[in-house]
Chain A
């Protein structure tokens, strides 16, 4: 008989990791990363004590193993880094902490607790970002291209959008629940998250939000009518963003109050539209409708960007990537050491842009520059492990609630640097751990 000590207290270490990683300026600074590492270690100790079998099973998963390899390589790079060895050790510790959080999360009953953690964190971040936008208070809101955008504790709007996108399916799951209070709350939460994504005006964030909603509708069980809820939330959020003209700080109080009305109306009306819920129609049709609406929202988000904002279409990424490839090619096998992308590529970046950036805006390229061929292979293996894990578990019970969050983080890391904001990495690790626990739940129930 499997040993499993149940109780809500088991969630404490994991929620503590998330709370610290997210609220401590998104877990970006070295001190916050150190604290997250300690708490991740404690979470594993609690998981080992309370559910030893599930914990040991989780640590054999390819997602955890690839992270462990990446952590080892990152730590070892302290021996040949052009930066400080302490920097390499710090980076290695945080990657190992991600693996630890995946293991600890996999030892807990999935997926509703995991979903609750994702939703609570995303709502807290969204509210913090929106409040700062209204108050035009940096750094939880940032003025970019003439408009104030919510950035939340991450102090970076695209990562706030990513976190909100990952939590959208959880809110939609609540929105499609038969219990009315839960459905009302779920619709309002989903509207708040979708509106926050729209107000960040970040193209990648909007596209990831659109993808999360579509995947959620496509994978949700037939018994749940997620499609109508998703469509209603999309429409309400788009209307709210239009009412404030995409600029919350620039809108007067009346307009801001008016922008809340679509959210309230959706929360009141959507759960009441019983006929719509019953007449859900084939899931494929709803997926197509929601995908079209989401695609339209993404296109509007891209076209609405002010002309000349951020330079050319890639916002300078092509130049950074060119510099990254050139830098990596100079030292392709061993790399320059963890956390040294800026120092290693500064000269080449300055040929492409006026100010060099600290990160490559692509995790695989950055790992190649910093850790050499081994780092590149480890990151590619991690991508393979994540997406094969998703494919393998896509039919697991209620896995659809977590799959979009698990997929969104690696996708965002192809174009941006959320990996460096430990808060978003920890939230991904919670979702990934929850996904690993989903099939295990089914097996336990069957036995």
Chain B
């Protein structure tokens, strides 16, 4: 016994849908916009959010959030500002104008000291980086010992920066 009328109809409908998929899919492929160069995850979630640069930090945590834990001059500058903010806020709790003035002076002195230290660190780091750049420029990429020498230079730079950062 052959297939019933209903089955034949169903098959024809399925055939039509399959043909629609083939033709429609081909048209959609031909007119499709090109793939995005960013990852699928990035496309779905948008660009990563970078926290705003702290201009007037109120705590060291704000600085860590933006600069990370590496004690770079920028990070230390931010932390010094946060320390000054906290110290000045504490001064407002002092009783008496003289005590407040002394407190503010102490905070300003500590901040100036910290900034001087940061300036020295910045200078020392610049020396390290300049030494690295000039030595790296003299390296020959064709040299068979290039990677070894390059590694040594990087290690020297790291040691120099660690020393500069105290």
Do A and B associate with each other?
A: yes
Return the chain A residue nearest B21 by Cβ: A41
Q: Find residues 258-294 in chain A having any chain B CB closer than 8 Å to their own CB.
A: none
Q: Is the CB of B41 within 8 A of A25?
A: no
- Residues of B within 8 Å of A357, CB to CB, are 44-46
Q: Find residues 294-348 in chain A having any chain B CB closer than 8 Å to their own CB.
A: none
- Residues of A within 8 Å of B138, CB to CB, are none
Q: Is the CB of A97 within 8 A of B46?
A: no
A244 within 8 A of B: no
Given contact pairs A41-B20, A48-B11, A139-B40, A34 touches B25 in the complex (Cβ within 8 A): yes
Q: Is the CB of A44 within 8 A of B17?
A: yes
Return the chain B residue nearest A32 by Cβ: B35
Given contact pairs A30-B32, A38-B21, A100-B17, A56 touches B10 in the complex (Cβ within 8 A): yes
Q: Is the CB of B25 within 8 A of A41?
A: yes
Given contact pairs A34-B29, A35-B25, A41-B19, A358 touches B40 in the complex (Cβ within 8 A): no
Given contact pairs A34-B25, A41-B22, A55-B14, A420 touches B32 in the complex (Cβ within 8 A): no
> How distant is the Cα of A29 from the Cα of B36 in the complex, in angstroms?
7
How many whole Å from A88's CB to the nearest CB in chain B? 11
- Residues of A within 8 Å of B30, CB to CB, are 34
> How distant is the Cα of A368 from the Cα of B32 in the complex, in angstroms?
26
Q: Is the CB of B43 within 8 A of A358?
A: yes
Q: Find residues 15-49 in chain B having any chain A CB closer than 8 Å to their own CB.
A: 15, 17-22, 24-36, 38-47, 49
> How distant is the Cα of A357 from the Cα of B10 in the complex, in angstroms?
41
> How distant is the Cα of A39 from the Cα of B17 in the complex, in angstroms?
13
Q: Is the CB of B44 within 8 A of A359?
A: yes
Return the chain A residue nearest B18 by Cβ: A44
Given contact pairs A56-B7, A56-B11, A354-B49, A417 touches B44 in the complex (Cβ within 8 A): yes
Return the chain A residue nearest B35 by Cβ: A29
How many whole Å from B110's CB to the nearest CB in chain A? 30
- Residues of B within 8 Å of A358, CB to CB, are 43-46
A220 within 8 A of B: no
Identify the interface centre among B10, B21, B42, B44: most chain A CB within 10 Å of its CB.
B21
How many whole Å from B22's CB to the nearest CB in chain A? 4
Chain B contact surface mostly: helix
- Residues of B within 8 Å of A201, CB to CB, are none
- Residues of A within 8 Å of B19, CB to CB, are 41, 45
Q: Is the CB of B32 within 8 A of A41?
A: no
Q: Is the CB of A25 within 8 A of B40?
A: yes
Return the chain A residue nearest B28 by Cβ: A34
Contact with A along B54-73 (1 / 0, CB 8 A): 00000000000000000000
Q: Is the CB of A59 within 8 A of B29?
A: no
Q: Find residues 10-57 in chain A having any chain B CB closer than 8 Å to their own CB.
A: 25-26, 28-42, 44-45, 48, 52, 55-56
Given contact pairs A38-B22, A42-B22, A154-B40, A355 touches B14 in the complex (Cβ within 8 A): no
A438 within 8 A of B: no
Return the chain B residue nearest A86 by Cβ: B31
Which of the residues B33, B41, B49 comes within 8 Å of A151, measured between beta carbons?
Answer: B41
Return the chain A residue nearest B6 by Cβ: A56
> How distant is the Cα of A59 from the Cα of B14 in the complex, in angstroms?
8
Identify the interface centre among B18, B20, B22, B45: most chain A CB within 10 Å of its CB.
B18
Return the chain B residue nearest A144 by Cβ: B41
Q: Is the CB of A93 within 8 A of B28?
A: yes
A96 within 8 A of B: yes
Which of the residues B14, B24, B39 comes within 8 Å of A103, measured between beta carbons?
Answer: B14
> How distant is the Cα of A36 from the Cα of B46 in the complex, in angstroms?
26
A142 within 8 A of B: yes
A156 within 8 A of B: yes
A134 within 8 A of B: no
Given contact pairs A34-B29, A38-B29, A354-B49, A48 touches B18 in the complex (Cβ within 8 A): yes
- Residues of B within 8 Å of A151, CB to CB, are 39, 41
Query: Top 9 closest A-B pairs, CB basis?
Result: A41-B21, A37-B25, A34-B29, A139-B39, A38-B25, A41-B22, A30-B32, A355-B46, A155-B40
5 additional A-B pairs beyond A41-B25, A44-B18, A100-B21, beta carbons within 8 Å, are: A34-B25, A41-B17, A44-B17, A56-B14, A89-B28
Q: Could you list which residues of chain B lie within 8 angstroms of chain A, going by C-beta atoms? A: 3, 7, 10-11, 14-15, 17-22, 24-36, 38-47, 49
18 A-B residue pairs with Cβ-Cβ distance under 8 Å, sorted by A, are A29-B32, A34-B28, A42-B18, A45-B15, A55-B14, A60-B10, A86-B28, A89-B28, A90-B32, A97-B25, A139-B38, A139-B41, A142-B41, A151-B41, A156-B40, A357-B44, A358-B46, A359-B44
